[in-house]
Amino acid sequence: MIGQKELFALLDTLNIPFKYLEHEPIPTVEAALAIRGPIEGVFCKNLFFRNHKGDKHYLVCFDHTKQLPVKDLELKLKQGKLSFASEQRMEKYLGLKPGSVSAFGLINDKDKHVKLFLDSSLKDSGHVSFHPNDNRATLIVSFADLMKFLNHLNANYEFIAI
């Protein structure tokens, strides 16, 4: 699976500037807020789901200040009952461990199995921050450059209102 070093090389190839912040492992947004002060841009929360059959997987990225009731997400996506995907599924499809999930993990989704749902309000943010496939760091990029990255991957994504 592709880790930080390869991710940074791709970002450099795509001429995507980024700010890199190292820190102790931070597995959740709540833990990050307790440890760190404010960071530039929108601090994104990332949740990885599977459908009831287990044959479809979804990554949802949204502003950490918002709440995402799973029942509301089920209604929006019209995919039936959703549940959090297991650690094994996360590793299989995104090459990531729990606590490190982000849109950057789509670099490992070679078969384009995972559908990404981005909160439409992120379009209005100047910058967004995610773990760079490792929860011991945070990467800050412009929203436009995140889209450049996703389009380069031919990622399967859609905007939804959260």
Highest mean pLDDT out of 12-16, 23-27, 44-48, 64-68: 12-16
CA–CA gap between residue 85 and residue 83 (Å, rounded): 6
pLDDT value of position 78: 82
CA 34 vs CA 29, 37, 84: distances in Å: 9, 8, 24
Q: Among residues of the chain, what percentage have pLDDT more than 90? A: 60
Which pTM was predicted? 0.91
CA 18 vs CA 15, 31, 51, 151: distances in Å: 10, 23, 33, 17
pLDDT in tens, 83-133: 999 999 999 999 998 888 999 999 999 999 999 999 999 999 999 998 898
Selected residue with higher pLDDT from 151 and 21: 151
Domain that holds residue 92: 4-160
Domain count, the chain: 1
CA–CA gap between residue 10 and residue 152 (Å, rounded): 10
The mean of the pLDDT values for the chain is 90
CATH at residue 121:
3.90.960.10
pLDDT value of position 41: 80
Residue 76 · residue 61 · CB < 8 Å: no
pLDDT value of position 126: 92
